[in-house]
Chains A and B, each alone.
Chain A
């Protein structure tokens, strides 16, 4: 029975990730619209955008290579896999022993590697500018994310994501100071990695300030649809990591069918609150200059290292 419920949880997670990721993006922009006293485009707007893009033909630059054409699929695949290995519904996922927290960071890095290369492929000024900036954000955000995950790993004596979630969900309710530091660091990293204010603005196409959008300027049609979908997936994956590390309540243990059924609404509620919180953070911040971003991320990295040290010093 264990295996069956794990498999169901695994497949549900993959399906949810693929289908609901655009909804999460839609929810965040809807919340932003409400906070700005606008009526907003509606929750389903990202799906309409995807449908429109899938209708359109692909306009490919003359010198686009096959790397450019295959990258959207690779990135999409990496992010779906990343979403699949984070335990959000149940902890006994069949993929769990194949990939741990470090592999999760590796998968996200792989997606970043390919999107940056795809940005450089056509050889436009904006493409390489975006790739350079994305990698700049990446080289500070990636170790910070790793340190956040390591703090949780040290608490649970494991890098396996399932064990981490199971341990964190079933401890007595104490607030670890290390996890508080890690939580702040993780929030900062997620904002930067998902091209959110204050590091990047998802709603802008102002060339001089953009990061993510600059890289994908040359994409169109189905390729752009895959890239946009992957961007929603990335936000979804980061939300899942955040929920798994800091709010792991309601995740089903192995073989618990009822728990699995209950995990679904709990997960949806947590995502909705998380999305609203993200919109609120974006509302009260202003976008910073691009060269303030390293300071912002450096702070996140320092906080994450501090979280590790606090754990080593105070919590053993």
Chain B
């Protein structure tokens, strides 16, 4: 449906929004040193563009596809753009989160030692525009140009404080792996065009690939997009780049850019190749589950809050890829309705992860500005000084931990349902593997609860561990409104799953031939298979829970005398309590480190019992770095390039 007043709709609206973002970025370059221009005019305007794009994407989810050939590109090789349900869904995700992050950035940017505000503004908006263009690109050439623009603009954003060697090093690692991935994607498109020389997606769709070449293309796509998404073993850049980047950039990269990689994987596998073989699903499932468990186990032992969130992103991407793999598996066996369920779970989790991870990265940004600390071991007690940030972060933490009635639970619920209702698959051993994979998902979900209690508890609860944390000030109005927007998104996506399912219906219909909306339930109950088998109503559950809690509280108020006395903490009568006696981040992670000891590479020294100056040291590292990356690096000669 068109917009009133002759506004562009469909793919034109997306292209217009991308142009508007680029124009805003260019305007920032007009006066690169002018902070007020960027902060008060350009970023808010960028947020408005985001809202408009979100509305346009929402309007075109259920509509027919729209295409446009751009007057750009090489002679005789113009750019093709196309908007379909899958693109529209991911554009909605991009635009909704980008609006929040842009508002946040308006309050976050300040004069610092790094790149000038105008330059950052340019990179920020070009980054947003390139992600939008990736989502609508309809030929390999345009896709790669947009993809590389995205990689480069995010590289410049990551390294905006480029005076530190470690930030340059993180940026280099990011760029390196991004380009390894890009080469793989390029080769994948090469395999897909099958010697015809026609790189438009339409031509690739029309081709019937032989199974061998299809498998090659899938493997290349999994490697290429997996490098961007942070799938094990190509995840090493995430925990380096996220702490190095400014927090809004981390939020955008983790919340949106990783999803463009998921989009690419889905586009290539489901659309361009078109006939997934069942064992591809098994590969994706295995890789996804490995990433999920690896990510969450490492997240539990981190002591830098942004590294912790980066590992948590690896976990969530792993869950998404596992859901996608399950969808491929079912699709390969011709079980359309289950494929639709698994695909819905994966896409729903993409949306959820965008909201809660964006929210948490922005919250770390506020904490970082207020205290100057990223290390969990120096924070604490911020709920008293920064209530807005703390309560929004609590919503995000509970959502990411997969707790009802928030959004993380819904996608987890759908994913577990998909695992559970595996009917007789034709392959006996696959039948056995699927419940075991479900157990791995359950373990990852439970561990993410552990990680989030650690994150929230150590940062926001307890006593301030350092003086700066005791003097922190709450975020400003811009930052607050962005946090509230994303936290509200987590709540709404959690309470109204049927709306999201309706949104996803065209996508699953297109790629699996089945859709979930309309089965059982109605608007109140989420019943993806059949109401007899499983149903869930977050709204009802939440209403009853709220009623019970309120009734309990009122009853206690009515019968209780209400006397409260403030006193020092008791702590079993120990009088010399200090902030340093609380669990550190390392201490809180220690049980996970002990239980999963073989996963880590642990090095350290413990003092001997008689040592008068005892020293205790322990480093916990990623073993893949030593098994995979350093040997490769040792083979290539030359001095380090950073």
The answer to whether B7 has its CB under 8 Å from any CB of chain A is: no
CB atoms of A132 and B588 under 8 A apart? yes
A62-B566, A77-B548, A109-B402 known; A123-B534 Cβ under 8 A? no
Asked, given contacts A60-B566, A103-B536, whether A217 binds B571 with beta carbons under 8 Å apart, the answer is: yes
- In the assembled complex, the CB of A255 is this many whole angstroms from the nearest CB of chain B, namely 17
User: How far is A113 from B421 in the complex, measured between Cα atoms in Å?
Assistant: 28
Determine the distance from Cα of A77 to Cα of B569 in the docked complex, in whole angstroms.
26
With contacts A123-B582, A138-B450 taken as known, whether A73 is within 8 angstroms of B438 at the C-beta atoms is no
Residue of chain B at shortest CB distance from A311 = B435
Contact A218 B565 (CB under 8 A): no
B-chain residues with CB within 8 Å of residue A124 when the two chains form the complex: 569-571, 574, 577, 581-582
| Residue A131 lies at the interface, judged by CB distance under 8 Å to chain B | yes
CB of B356, distance to nearest CB on chain A (Å): 14
Given that A123-B381, A128-B462 are known contacts, is A60 also in contact with B564, CB under 8 Å in the complex?
Answer: yes
Q: Is the CB of B432 within 8 A of A313?
A: yes
* Contact A113/B403 with A143-B443, A147-B439 known, Cβ cut-off 8 Å: yes
Which partner residue on chain B sits nearest A291 by CB separation? B594
Complex Cα–Cα for A124 and B432 (A): 46
Task: Name the distance in Å between B357's Cβ and chain A's nearest Cβ.
Answer: 18
Q: Which residue of A lies closest to B542 (CB)?
A: A98
Question: A100 is contacted by which of B535, B563, B577 (Cβ under 8 Å)?
Answer: B535
Q: Which of A76, A113, A158 contacts B549 (CB 8 A)?
A: A76
Measured in the bound complex, the distance between the Cα atoms of B383 and A159 in whole Å is 38
Q: Is the CB of A122 within 8 A of B569?
A: yes
Contact B402 A106 (CB under 8 A): yes
Asked if A107 lies at the interface with its beta carbon under 8 angstroms from chain B, I say: yes
Does B33 touch A at the CB level, under 8 Å? Answer: no
Which residues does chain B contribute within 8 Å of A81, judged by CB atoms?
A: 541, 544-545, 548
Chain B residues, CB < 8 A from A221: 563-564
- Selected from B403, B432, B442, the residue in CB contact (under 8 A) with A110 is B403
Q: How far is the CB of A119 from chain B (nearest CB, A)?
A: 8
B453 at the interface (CB under 8 A from A): yes
Contacts of B447 in A (CB 8 A): 139
A265 at the interface (CB under 8 A from B): no
- Name the interface size band of chain B: 35 or more
With A and B bound together, what is the CA distance between A127 and B574 in angstroms? 13
Cα-based distance from A305 to B434 in the complex (angstroms): 11
Q: B446–A139 contact, CB under 8 A?
A: yes
Chain A residues touching B, majority SS: helix
Using a CB-CB cutoff of 8 Å, which residues 392-427 of chain B contact chain A?
Answer: 394, 398, 401-404, 409, 412-413, 416-417, 420-421, 424
Per the bound structure, the CA–CA distance linking A125 and B454 in Å amounts to 15
- C-alpha spacing A299/B567, complex, angstroms: 43
A117 near B456: Cβ-Cβ < 8 Å? yes
Closest A-chain residue to B537, C-beta based? A98
Contact with B along A64-78 (1 / 0, CB 8 A): 010100000110111
A138 contact set on B, CB distance < 8 A? 446, 449-450
B69 in the interface (beta carbon within 8 A) = no
- Encoded as 1 (CB less than 8 Å from any B CB) or 0, chain A from 97 to 141 comes to 111101100110110110011001111111111011101101110
Q: Is A182 an interface residue (CB 8 A)?
A: no
Taking a contact as CB atoms closer than 8 A, the residue among B442, B531, B570, B588 that contacts A218 in the complex is: B570
**Which residues does A use to contact B, with CB under 8 Å?**
54, 57-63, 65, 67, 73-74, 76-78, 80-81, 84, 95, 97-100, 102-103, 106-107, 109-110, 112-113, 116-117, 120-129, 131-133, 135-136, 138-140, 142-143, 146-147, 150, 153-154, 157-160, 163, 207, 217-218, 221-222, 226, 291, 294, 298, 301, 304-305, 308-309, 312-313, 316
